Structure 1
Amino acid sequence: MASQLRGNDLRQLGFPEGRAIGLALAQLQRKHLRKLSQTNQLELLRALLASPADFLTHLDWSHTAAALLPAPSRHIALAERKDYAVFGAEHIEPGAIHQMETAMKLPVTVAGALMPDAHHGYGLPIGGVLATDNAVIPYAVGVDIGCRMALSVFPLPPKHLEQRVRELRKLLLDNTRFGGREIFRHGQHLDHEVLSRAAFRDIPFLHNKLDTAALQIGSSGGGNHFVEWGVVDITDPTNEMGVPVGQYLGLLSHSGSRGLGAAVANHYTKLARDVCQLPAEAQYLAWLSLDSEAGQEYWAAMNLAGDYASACHHQIHHRLARALGEKPLAKVENHHNFAWKERLADGREVIVHRKGATPAGAGVLGIIPGSMTAPGYIVRGRGEASSLSSASHGAGRAMSRTRAKAELGEADLRRYLQQHQVELLGGGLDEAPQAYKDIRQVMASQTELVDVLGSFTPRIVRMEGGG
């Protein structure tokens, strides 16, 4: 009997969000279809997706086929698909392409681009960049609003990692917290001006969010979020950081806006879907006009969540720099899962959503991480218009979390980490480096988008569960 397919498998094939996925999965549970190999099941689903009209009279698939075809409704009609740029198309799964094609049909869409690390998400694919006319799409921003990378470069040589590995490991464990269960005890919290922002009082939805935000500030999320020590290698003498060419001890963190951002995303997505009813395949791309009260509220809440995410990183780096007893030579920080007001080359003002994509305007610095066993890159944006001044935000997933857990073993992960001289505190199989694309191939697909100034190679990695 074939192993059971899941919703994400169908989404990666290009199935749209909506009833069709549930109907197809239910059909595959029928006895005669369960006997098919997974390869044959996928082949059948591809044929159904390619030509649903041919299956309208099929005994097994008529209902699924009908759900795949457009039906008369009161939905806002999608427009003709606009052209968009794709970088590294050979690395991108069909499901992400399908999602981007749908996003480019929105009536409010002006332009778009797809980054080489792109993979399937909700609404806009992760790695998708979308410019809209006076409209903001909460799920094109994402759930983890303002998720970001932050790097501190310290005036210490790489041998510091080898000579004081036990001390550095302890510093990570003592000064970082992850997920929902690891919280700094009373008296260990650091204050920050973001917690005094008027938005917590002025926006009704945020009235009861301040306590949780205050509790979680300075901590990191679960999943693929991390704080890690590693080796920074500066290779470009013209770098804007003012750091001489050479190798240094570095601290890199990746996390976002914690429960605050997730609450904002889910609340305003529901509002958007109520007022902007789109066909099923586009339902998570519902937008709010920036002329509306809800749109203005979301914009303010999004910016608050982004500043909160930045505050969390600043506290992480402050704690660890203080514990290390060193001041950094330089810092680099950039974020994704956000929307910006920007102008296109023709002068039009648009709202640029970067869901899992790095801002790469001319001269803008950023960090594009690999996996925990592959280098990340310090980059300078080139302001490429066809990418909407964007680049990838990482290597991107090659395996879904479910598939990684099913196919990879704990012993294999530990062996792989040992081969690459990486120590992992916490983490899980869903974040194994084997579940990610090759960052070198991803970077080779975006040489016109960014210039590389240096790299960061992880050595001691802390993730959720390492405490």
Structure 2
Amino acid sequence: MERVATTGPVVDAVLMADGHKGYSMPVGGVVAYDEAVSPVGVGVDIGCGCLAVRTELTYSDLVQLAGEDKTSIKPLVNRIYKSIAFGMGRTNPDPVDSPLFDDPRWEAIPAPVRGSLRNLARQQLGTVGGGNHFVDLLVEESPEGKVWVACHFGSRGFGFKVAHGFLGLHAGLGWEDAVREDMDAPPVVFSLRSSIGQDYWQAMSLAIDYAYAGREYVVGQVLRLLGNPKVLLTVHNNHNDARKEVHNGQEVVVVRKGATPLFPGQLGFVGGSMGDISVIVRGLDTEENELTIRPTVHGAGRVMSRTKAAGKRKKIDGRWMRVGGEVDWEAVRRSLWERGIVVKGGGADEAPAVYRPLSQVLGAYTDSFEVLCTLRPVAVMMAPENEFDPYKD
């Protein structure tokens, strides 16, 4: 983070309490630039974020909707899971149309690859990637006990290719040439006064809107399977993006890599691990909030690498498998089931033990926000274990 703070026209830089190592810039890093943007700061999952909606349903309503023995929501979770395309490189079996595919910002992408990239975006709109991306059902800790539907993912293969394409152009390579990824490389910074900076900004903003549209589609799909209940509150924001904002009287470009924007009065969803709480927070107009450039954490933060948790990836009998990990995934699944949490997909690299407790991370902030609602998971849906990721989601 010290290197990031001294590379390019940096006005200010901070690191969130859930921060951990990322490519060039830490996940949980926030940087304000003067007329510049960092594509490695925004990251390859442009526009990654969370959408959460509070419904009129209660847990007992979910049990009724599940049918069968009227004691478990597992049949309902199975139906939801089958209706959504989870996993790496997956396409939507029911392609979604969107005005985004006719957006003039596509002109910022080089003509030779524009058609194929637009086709990929069409195919993947409304799909959920792998890694820590999820669709959850949660119940709030309140007398009403309302059910929330939440999801977490970004711009899929489209955003990945935009990020790598512009990094390739910056390196003097072609759009589709491989760019060597170095965790400790200084961040690439584009001036917004340059043509590549302007083109990246247009493509990045298109990928952000694409991510929003995908999350809205997925949550809408879940709500339809829940009988289209009334939505009482919607909380939707990115935690991987760049935007022009005014701080201390100066317009700056704020790059947030794994940090939830939280201006005074703004609502945010912060998710914990699959066995932990999530929260709805509201920003406060305080010195602490201002000093941190108006963000907060975006999650609990990893404390164990995927390889350490799940093992090294090897191809066995034609399938990618992880072997030698420290986490007993089957024991984790049993424990979560005993706690009333239905898990579909996921794996050892997303087990609760690989993350900090969310309450511990939130406790690092005493005056930036208030917690409006605490949510506990009752269903967690993620990509199946041991899938190869061609887009590195």
User: Shorter-chain-normalised TM-score: which range?
Assistant: 0.7 to 0.9
Q: Is the 8 A contact 1:199 1:206 kept in 2?
A: no
Q: CA deviation at 1:363?
A: 0.8
Q: Do structure 1's residue 357 and structure 2's residue 259 form an aligned pair?
A: yes
Q: How does 1:322-361 map to 2 (within 5 A)?
A: 322-325=224-227, 326-345=229-248, 347-361=249-263
Letter in 1 for 2:103: R
Q: Is the 8 A contact 1:382 1:389 kept in 2?
A: no
Q: Do structure 1's residue 140 and structure 2's residue 41 form an aligned pair?
A: yes
SS of the residue 2:57 aligns to: coil
Q: CA deviation at 1:181?
A: 5.3
In 2, distance between residues paired with 1:359 and 1:302? Answer: 17
> What does residue 266 of structure 1 align with?
164
Q: CA deviation at 1:317?
A: 1.4
Q: How does 1:399-438 map to 2 (within 5 A)?
A: 399-405=304-310, 406-438=325-357
Q: Do structure 1's residue 112 and structure 2's residue 6 form an aligned pair?
A: no
Q: Deviations over 1:97-145 (max 9, x none)?
A: xxx1111122411101111100000011000001111111100111100
Q: Is the 8 A contact 2:7 2:186 kept in 1?
A: no
Q: Do structure 1's residue 197 and structure 2's residue 116 form an aligned pair?
A: no
TM-score by length of 2: 0.84
Letter in 1 for 2:51: A
Q: Is the 8 A contact 1:160 1:249 kept in 2?
A: no
In 2, distance between residues paired with 1:357 and 1:138? Answer: 15
Q: Do structure 1's residue 210 and structure 2's residue 118 form an aligned pair?
A: yes
Q: How does 1:179-258 map to 2 (within 5 A)?
A: 179-180=87-88, 182-185=90-93, 188-204=94-110, 206-233=114-141, 246-258=144-156
Q: Is the 8 A contact 1:231 1:457 kept in 2?
A: yes
> What does residue 450 of structure 1 align with?
369
Q: Is the 8 A contact 2:89 2:129 kept in 1?
A: no
Q: CA deviation at 1:174?
A: 3.1
Q: CA deviation at 1:282?
A: 6.2
Q: Is the 8 A contact 1:273 1:284 kept in 2?
A: no
Q: Do structure 1's residue 393 and structure 2's residue 298 form an aligned pair?
A: yes
In 2, distance between residues paired with 1:119 and 1:202? Answer: 32
> What does residue 36 of structure 1 align with?
none
Q: CA deviation at 1:200?
A: 2.3
Letter in 2 for 1:299: W
In 1, distance between residues paired with 2:234 and 2:251? Answer: 30
In 2, distance between residues paired with 1:272 and 1:116? Answer: 32
> What does residue 169 of structure 1 align with?
77
CA RMSD of aligned residues (A): 2.0
Structure 1 residues 282 and 400 mapped into 2: Cα distance closer, same or farther (>3 Å)? closer
Structure 1: runs of 5 or more not aligned: 1-99, 235-244
> What does residue 219 of structure 2 align with?
317
In 2, distance between residues paired with 1:316 and 1:403? Answer: 31
Q: Could you say which structure has the higher helix fraction? A: 1
When Rg is computed on C-alpha atoms for both structures, the one with the higher figure is 1
1:382 to 284, 288, 291: 284
Q: Is the 8 A contact 1:149 1:252 kept in 2?
A: yes
In percent, how many aligned pairs have the same letter?
37
Q: Could you say which structure has the higher strand fraction? A: 2
Structure 1 residues 349 and 272 mapped into 2: Cα distance closer, same or farther (>3 Å)? farther
SS of the residue 2:340 aligns to: coil
Q: Is the 8 A contact 2:89 2:157 kept in 1?
A: no
Structure 1 residues 167 and 408 mapped into 2: Cα distance closer, same or farther (>3 Å)? closer
Letter in 1 for 2:82: D
In 1, distance between residues paired with 2:135 and 2:48? Answer: 13
Q: Is the 8 A contact 1:220 1:255 kept in 2?
A: yes
In 2, distance between residues paired with 1:192 and 1:309? Answer: 12
Letter in 2 for 1:209: L
In 2, distance between residues paired with 1:281 and 1:419? Answer: 39
Higher relative contact order (CA 8 A, sep 6+): 2
Structure 2: runs of 5 or more not aligned: 67-72, 174-181, 311-324, 388-393
> What does residue 314 of structure 2 align with?
none
Letter in 2 for 1:150: L
SS of the residue 2:58 aligns to: coil
Q: Is the 8 A contact 1:200 1:207 kept in 2?
A: no
Q: CA deviation at 1:440?
A: 0.6
Greater CA drift, 141-150 or 318-327? 318-327
Letter in 1 for 2:95: H
